[in-house]
Amino acid sequence: MNKLLETPIEYLKGVGPARGELLRKELGIHTYSDLLNLFPNRYIDRTRYYNINELVASNSEVQVIGKIIHIKSAGDKQKSRLVATFTDETGEMELVWFRGQKWIRDNLKLNQPYVIFGKATPFGGTFSMAHPEMEPLAEHQASLRSAMQPIYPSTEKLTQKGISNKVISKIMQQLFIETQARFAETLPPSLIQELQLISKNVALFNIHFPKSQEWLAKAQFRLKFEELFFIQLQLITKNIIRKHKIKGLPFTQVGQYFNAFYQNHLPFELTGAQKRVIKEIRNDMGQPAQMNRLLQGDVGSGKTIVALMSMLLALDNGFQACLMAPTEILATQHYSGLSELAKPLGINIRLLTGSTKTPDRKIIYRELESGELHIIIGTHALLEDKVQFRNLGLAIIDEQHRFGVEQRSRLWRKNDIPPHVLVMTATPIPRTLAMSLYGDLDISVIDELPPGRKPIKTVHRYDSNRLMVWKFLKEEIAKGRQVYIVYPLIQESETLDYKDLMDGYESISRDFPLPQYSVSIVHGKMKPADKDAEMARFAAGKTNIMVATTVIEVGVNVPNASVMVIESAERFGLSQLHQLRGRVGRGADQSYCILMTGHKLGNDTKTRLDTMCRTNDGFEIAEVDLKLRGPGDIMGTQQSGVLNLQIADLVKDRDILQLARHHAVNILKDDTAMAKPEHAAMRNAYLEITRKKNIWNYIS
C-alpha cells in the first residue's frame, strides 16, 4: 500500500496538472502521502440538528431539517432577493438568496425534506439564513462526508483559483477510495495495546471523517503520539549512535590545574547544584565518547565557574579549550571573568573577536597551533579557517540558540577526534522544548542560586507613579547603590527608540542633577570604545545611574547596582524582561526591578507583568512564555519553525510528548537497533521518516 502513497498528487482523480501544481506550491503537497497528512485545522460539528424553535442569536453555524413550503421574489431590481419559507414541526424561518436566484428557483423542490446549514440571524421576529448550504436529506444521509466537517489549511491563492474547502474534502474522499483506506501500521503491537491506541487506519479515517467528537479525540491522540514518538526516536537514536560511533577523548586525569583551583582558589563555596553538574561533566569527559551536554542555569547561577572547571580538566589532560559567545560584549565579559579566576594558575588565556587587531591575531593563531595558548574565548571569529588548534579538547558554546547547526559543527571539524561539547544557556528552556530541541543532548541544570543572594523584588508601576519611583531611586542612591534605567530598542524603529532614549536621558539628567548625581548613557549608535568607557565608569561606581537600551541585557556585571527600572515594559517579551532583571541582584543587598508602563495594557501584557512580579524562577517564566508565544518565537529567528509539526502542539500536548519520550527511551534501551520482529513496522516507518524528513528538518 505504501508504494501507492508515493504517487504524484496530480494523478489523483479530480486533481490533474493545474491543481496539482497549485497544491505543491501553496501547501507543499507533492504526493498522496502529503495529502493524507494534511490534517484539518478545526471542525464544524454537524452531529447536531436544531429545531427551528431552538435557534438563538449566536455566531455559530447550525443545521436544520425541514422543507420549503413557499418561494417568492422580493424587493426591486437593485435589491432583489429570493425568499423561501422553511418549516419543521416546531416553527418556520426564512431562507434568503441575493445571487444566483434563477438557478436556485429552478432547482429547489417544494415539500421535499432538506438539510440546511448556515448562520441563523434573528430578523423581524423570525430567523433568517442567507445563502444556506442545502442538501436533500436522502443524499445527506448517504454521503461519506462525516458529521464533524473538517476545515483544512488553505491560502488566498487556492481560494481564488476555486480550490475551496469543499474541493479539498472531495479529493480527500477520493484518496480514501483509491487507497481503500488501508494504511500500514507504524507502532509496535505491544505499545498500541498498552496505551489502548486506535489503529493507524481508524485514526486516519477519523481525523478526516470523524464519526463523533469521541472518535476525533481518539484519532488526534493517536496521531499526535505517533508524531512526537518518531521525533523522540530520532533524537535518542542520534544520541546513542554518537556515544557509540563518535569517538571522544577520554580525560582520565584530574590533575594539577583542577585540584589547585578547587582547593586553593575557589572564590566561594560551590552550591550543591554546581557540584552535581561538575560531577556529570567529569563523568562524561572521562568516557571514550564525545560529550554533548546542555547546561541550563538561570542568570547569575554560576555557570562561569562550571565552565572554567571543565576547561581545567581539558588542560590537565594536555588539551586546549575554547568558549564561543554570540556577541562581543558577552565574549569580553567571559574573558575578564575567567582571566580573573584563572590568574593564580598561570594559564595563557586570550580573547579573539571581530575587533581584535591584526598583530594580536597573528600571535593568537601562532600560539593556538603550537599549543602555548591554553584557552581561547571569542565570538564567530573562532570559526574562521585561520583558527587552527594544536589539540582542542573542549568546546563550550554560550547561548547556543544564536548559532546555526552548521556554524557549531565547524568547530568540531578543527580536530581529527571531535572535542567534547558543552552548550550553555541562561535562557531557561521549558522541559517540553528541551526534550524536543535538545532531546539528543544530555541535560544538566543548575537550579539553585549561590548562597547569600536575596530574591529580587519586582513591582509594576504606571507612568503616573513616576515621582514616587524617582523618590525611591534617590533613597537607594543615598545608600550608595546604583541604578539601571533601560529603554526598549525595537529594530524597525531605531530612530523612534533613539528619540525616546534621548528624551528620557535629558529628563533623568534634570531630575538627578550634577554635582549630586552623575548619569551614564549607553546605546547602539555609540562607538564601541565610548560604550566601553561608559560601562567602565559605571562599573567603577563613578556614575550613579546607567541609562541604556537593551545592550546591557548581556554583559555587565556590577554587584553594586541594585535597582533595574524598565521603561515601556509592555514592549518587552518575558524572557527579555527576565534577562534584564538578572543584571541586578548580583551583590548581597536587596535588589529591585521596577516595570514602568502606560495604563493601556492588553491581556497578554498583564499576564507577562504579573508573572514577573510573582516569580523569579526562570523555568516557570519560560513555561508562561511558551504558552503566550508558542515554540517558534521562543527560540529566536534562527530556530524559526522550531518544530514543523503536522498535528502535535508542544504547548498543549506536553503530556503526550513526555509519554512519547518515555516509551521511545524504553524501547531503545531494550532494542537499540529496532531489530526485534515485533519492531519491524516501527523500524520501517522510522527509516522512511528519516529518509524523507531528517530530525533537522523538524528542528531548524
- Residue 138 lies inside a defined structural domain of this protein: yes
> Do 280 and 417 belong together in one domain?
yes
- Residue 578 lies inside a defined structural domain of this protein: yes
> Do 271 and 360 belong together in one domain?
yes
DSSP at 206: H
The full 3-state SS of 96-148, as one line of letters, equals EECCCHHHHHHHCCCCCEEEEEECEEEECCEEEEECCEEEEHHHHHHCCCCCE
- Residue 563 lies inside a defined structural domain of this protein: yes
Q: Which residues 6+ apart lie within 8 Å of 335 measured at CB? A: 349, 351, 377
| pTM of the shown model | 0.68
- The range of the structural domain enclosing residue 417 comes to 256-285+302-425
> Do 383 and 497 belong together in one domain?
no
The grid cell for 239 is 544520541
pLDDT digits (tens, 9 = 90+) for 652-664: 788 898 899 999 9
Are the C-beta atoms of 364 and 356 separated by less than 8 Å?
yes
Rounded-to-10 torsion of CA 100, 102, 104, 109: 170
> Do 421 and 469 belong together in one domain?
no
pLDDT digits (tens, 9 = 90+) for 89-118: 999 999 999 888 889 999 999 999 999 998
Rg for the chain (alpha carbons), in Å? 32
Out of 71-75, 425-429, 551-555, pick the least confident: 551-555
Q: Give dist(CA 370, CA 391) in Å, integer.
A: 9
Task: Examine the pLDDT at 77 and tell me if it is beyond 60.
Answer: yes
> Do 327 and 407 belong together in one domain?
yes
- Residue 367 lies inside a defined structural domain of this protein: yes
Element (H, E) at 284: helix 272-285
**pLDDT at 408 (0 to 100):** 66
**pLDDT at 639 (0 to 100):** 38
Predicted confidence band at 436 (pLDDT cuts at 50, 70, 90)? Answer: confident
Q: Give dist(CA 156, CA 164) in Å, integer.
A: 10
> Do 514 and 392 belong together in one domain?
no
- Residue 500 lies inside a defined structural domain of this protein: yes
> Do 604 and 478 belong together in one domain?
yes
> Do 499 and 573 belong together in one domain?
yes
Task: Examine the pLDDT at 555 and tell me if it is beyond 60.
Answer: no
Looking at the structure of the chain, the number of domains it has is 3
Task: Examine the pLDDT at 435 and tell me if it is beyond 90.
Answer: no
Greater confidence (326 vs 193) lies with 193
> Do 412 and 516 belong together in one domain?
no
**pLDDT at 411 (0 to 100):** 75
> Do 402 and 265 belong together in one domain?
yes
* Residue reference for cell 594536555: 318
The grid cell for 608 is 507577562
Q: What is the DSSP string of 497-545?
A: HHHHHHHHHHHHHHHS-TTT--EEEE-TTS-HHHHHHHHHHHHTTS-SE
* Residue reference for cell 508524531: 227
Q: Which of 145, 176, 206 is the last residue of a domain?
A: 145
Proportion of the chain above pLDDT 90, given as a percent: 56
Phi and psi at residue 547, to the nearest 5°? -95, 125
DSSP at 381: G
pLDDT digits (tens, 9 = 90+) for 126-171: 999 999 989 899 888 876 556 678 999 999 899 889 899 989 999 9
Task: Examine the pLDDT at 492 and tell me if it is beyond 60.
Answer: no
pLDDT digits (tens, 9 = 90+) for 289-325: 889 898 988 877 888 899 999 999 999 999 999 999 9
**pLDDT at 551 (0 to 100):** 67
Distances (CA, A) of 427 to 413, 682, 686: 27, 35, 32
pLDDT digits (tens, 9 = 90+) for 450-462: 777 788 999 999 9
Bridge partner residues of 127 (DSSP): 122
> Do 510 and 558 belong together in one domain?
yes
Predicted confidence band at 21 (pLDDT cuts at 50, 70, 90)? Answer: very high
pLDDT digits (tens, 9 = 90+) for 326-381: 888 788 889 988 999 999 999 999 999 988 999 999 999 999 999 999 999 999 89
> Do 526 and 386 belong together in one domain?
no
Other beta carbons within 10 angstroms of residue 532's beta carbon come to: 15
**pLDDT at 497 (0 to 100):** 67
Other beta carbons within 10 angstroms of residue 660's beta carbon come to: 25
Proportion of the chain above pLDDT 70, given as a percent: 92
